[in-house]
A and B are shown apart, each in its own frame.
Chain A
Amino acid sequence: MLGEDFVRVLYIDLENRKADIRERKDLYKYLGGTGVAAKLLEENMKKGLPPLHEEQPLIISIGPLSTIFPVVTKAVATFISPHTGEYGESHAGGRLAMAMRNAGYDAIVITGRAHKPTYLLITDRNIEFKDARAMWGLDIEEVGRVVREREPGPGKRSIIRIGRAGENLVTYSCVNVDTYRHFGRLGMGAVFGSKNLKAMIIMGERDLPISNLKEYFKTYQEIYKKATQTDAMAKYHELGTPLNIKVLNAINSLPTKNLLQSTFEHADDISGERFAEKNLIRKVSCTGCPIGCIHIGQFRREFDKGYEYESIAVSYDHELVYALGSLLGIRTSDEVLEIIEEVELAGLDAMTTGVVLAWATEALQKGLITKEDTLADLEFGNTKEYIKAIDYIADRANEFYYTIGNGLNEAVKKYGGQEFALLYGGNEMAGYHTGYGFALGQTVGARHSHLDNAGYSYDQSAKELKDEEIVDYVIKEEKERNVLTSLCICLFARKVYDRPTILKALHSIGIDWTDDDLTRLGNDIFFTKLRIKKELGYSLENYRFPKRVFETPTLWGRMDEERLNRLLRMYIDRVEKEYEDWSRGQ
């Protein structure tokens, strides 16, 4: 809590429609974000029960710098992932962090299951459990509109909600945050669905006096200048992350057609440049970010003969253009946007949806499944059929779609095709076939996200590959990112927020930490997450990488399976040893 030495936690019990607020001094040493959220998950999770059991908790946390410093925009959620069965963590921007800050809650813990579909209203003066029965079944856009029109506070509120996929417990359903951002990965949408929770609206006008205006505002301006007047973040505003499409394509790193290829003959047609020239209509920001990386693209759809058109605008990013573009062989930016729209309305994670559909396309080609299963003529490049399939996933239309609605791990158990199922550590692949750093990084990352440790960045910047160095990078980077995400700093601003800058910002609001404190924090969070994962039965022993990732060239040529396995062994041995030392010290 700003100006206090505790973390103010709001506990929501959906079953009994009660709330409780506790001031947790003991959590203060974890600052906020990923640190506080991991600890709250650990103390509230029920390890013997399934991920979607009503007693399992859902946590959302912000940090002490949230909203009041430039680009500190994220909220961090933790839960037990219905997708992987182990540690679930997902981050989202938008207005949520600002709304929690203004409502006066550093963290929210939600447990229980509402007796009927419910949406939550959370403010500094009020908690209400509201009837959402009529909202059940509505898509992301409609439920947003209904809540907006029913509730007060335009401009200063955050509305987060699920679509049909979340209601139907698809294990990679997302929670949409303020239309353009998401808790995307690992199935937080299904956690909402399992709790009969359709939406939450958060806002507040809590008095948040500034303790030392002079020092705070001086520091604020310095960071603001660094973020806006140096080139540290310019690329995120200009073309945005889809800048990567051309970059990765040029270095054999753009996963294409279920990774049968790592370059795409139509890469130019779905590049960041092409989107910017043809579709980009505006850019927007998360609250408190002067950069504005959210790119909104528009396309036109003919809905009837006789020149009947509608225009549709959706946000696009590299990961979406990869997963719902190159990976599915989609050839135009308009079509990529059309597929994104369907994924958005249904409330699915774009990356996993794309990877699952790419696998299904190949499985159909190879005869592992039939048209009776897929109901749609899945083939690379066929936008219309993919759009049908996205709906079938959200609706769990038949036995096949029910199965793939639990992700590729489940799909291959039933239908085979493990060798071309693009999974790393149980989660579907992100858009960087750059080499060993990425492959190891996503596999071992706590939330199996490419952003856990940015192995792809190692691949792209290394002069030569050294095994020790790869393992070292992945571990160090993940620990450092734990520091950034415990403060809820957007990872795009990682170059702005170096250690001295972080310490200065903390100091200006009365938190006197040292460099060693931050190092200790990053380490503690790293191993706390590992402890949670172990409690939930997680292990990388006997882990097998899919064959496909070795067949298609990366930036560093074809990966050698033995070498990647050796890297994984080195990683496990080193982390286990560190974990033992850390556990003894606890």
Chain B
Amino acid sequence: MPKVLRADNMNKCLGCFTCMLTCAAVNHNNHNLAKSSIKVKTRGGLQSKFAATICVACKEPACAEACPTNALVRRPGGGVKLIRERCIACEKCVSACIVGSIHMDYDRKIPIICKHCGACVRMCPHNCLSMEEVTE
């Protein structure tokens, strides 16, 4: 069964950003956590709780619908895959995603799309993240 990323235990989050550093390194070969697909933020100031903005694995992905070149194709279980050679960096997917999970990598001129690979889950020290088996 396909798996998708969930962030159901963010109450446990320490704000260490290891998930972001891992995603940026493993998926984007970069040390800058600005390249991470998962984005941990406080809800406003460090005194508030942490929250994670992640791809919620839509079954009917608005980002793919908005893409004029079919560069985003639906993946099994939800969410999308980026076909890089089709992408023209129009950024329509960024505004189409209402949870704000997509942002641009302006160095490479592509949107940063979650692959639901689970690397962040494996490196989270406090079990905030998980991979959930879902039906196709």
Q: Which residues of A contact B (CB under 8 A)?
A: 2, 67-68, 70, 98, 101-102, 144-145, 148, 154-156, 178-180, 204-210, 213, 216-217, 220-221, 224, 228, 283-292, 313
Q: Tell yes or no: B32 within 8 A of A by CB.
A: yes
Q: Are B21 and A288 neighbours in the complex by a CB distance under 8 Å?
A: yes
Within 8 Å by CB of A207, from B18, B32, B41, lies: B32
Q: Are B29 and A210 neighbours in the complex by a CB distance under 8 Å?
A: yes
- Are A208 and B31 touching (Cβ within 8 A)? yes
Given contacts A210-B31, A289-B16, A292-B16, contact A180 B46 (CB under 8 A): yes
Flag if A217 contacts B32 (CB, 8 Å).
no
- Per the CB 8 Å criterion, the residue count for chain B at the interface is 27
Whether the Cβ atoms of A208 and B39 lie closer than 8 Å is: no
A288 contacts B18, C-beta separation under 8 Å: yes
3 interchain residue pairs of minimum CB distance? A155-B41, A292-B14, A285-B16
A-B contact pairs, 26 of them (CB 8 A): A67-B31, A68-B21, A70-B18, A144-B45, A145-B45, A148-B45, A156-B34, A205-B32, A205-B106, A206-B32, A207-B30, A207-B32, A208-B32, A213-B25, A213-B26, A220-B25, A284-B14, A285-B16, A287-B16, A288-B16, A288-B18, A288-B21, A290-B18, A291-B14, A291-B16, A292-B125
Query: What chain A residues lie within 8 Å of B46 (beta carbons)?
Result: 178-180, 284
A interface footprint on B26-48 (CB within 8 Å = 1, 0 otherwise):
10011111100001111011110
In the complex, chain A residues whose CB is within 8 Å of the CB of B42: 154-155
- A-chain residues with CB within 8 Å of residue B14 when the two chains form the complex: 283-285, 289-292
Give the nearest-CB partner of A224 in chain B: B123
Whether the Cβ atoms of B29 and A102 lie closer than 8 Å is no
- Tell me how far the C-beta of A294 lies from the nearest C-beta in chain B, rounded to whole angstroms: 8
With A101-B32, A210-B31, A290-B18 known, 20 other A-B pairs at CB within 8 A are A67-B21, A67-B31, A68-B31, A101-B31, A102-B33, A102-B34, A154-B42, A205-B34, A208-B30, A208-B31, A209-B30, A283-B14, A284-B14, A287-B17, A288-B18, A289-B14, A290-B14, A290-B16, A290-B123, A292-B14
Partner of B33, one of A98, A145, A283: A98
> With an 8 A cutoff between CB atoms, is B77 at the interface?
no
Cβ–Cβ < 8 Å partners of A179 in chain B: 45-47
Beta-carbon nearest neighbor of A229 in chain B: B125
Instruction: Please tell me if B118 contacts chain A, counting CB pairs below 8 Å.
Output: no
Point out the residues of chain B lying under 8 angstroms from A101, CB to CB. 31-32
Q: Which residue of A lies closest to B103 (CB)?
A: A205
**B16 with A154: CB separation less than 8 A:** no
Given A145-B45, A179-B46, does the pair A285, B15 have CB atoms closer than 8 Å?
yes
Contact of A284 with B125 in the complex, beta carbons under 8 Å: no
Assembly CA distance A101 to B45 (angstroms): 21
Distance in Å from the Cβ of B89 to the closest Cβ of chain A?
16
- Point out the residues of chain B lying under 8 angstroms from A216, CB to CB: 25
Answer whether residue B59 sits at the interface, using C-beta atoms and an 8 A cutoff.
Answer: no
**Complex contacts, A2 vs chain B, CB 8 Å:** 31
Return the chain A residue nearest B32 by Cβ.
A208
Q: How far is the CB of A566 from chain B (nearest CB, A)?
A: 46
Contacts of B107 in A (CB 8 A): 207
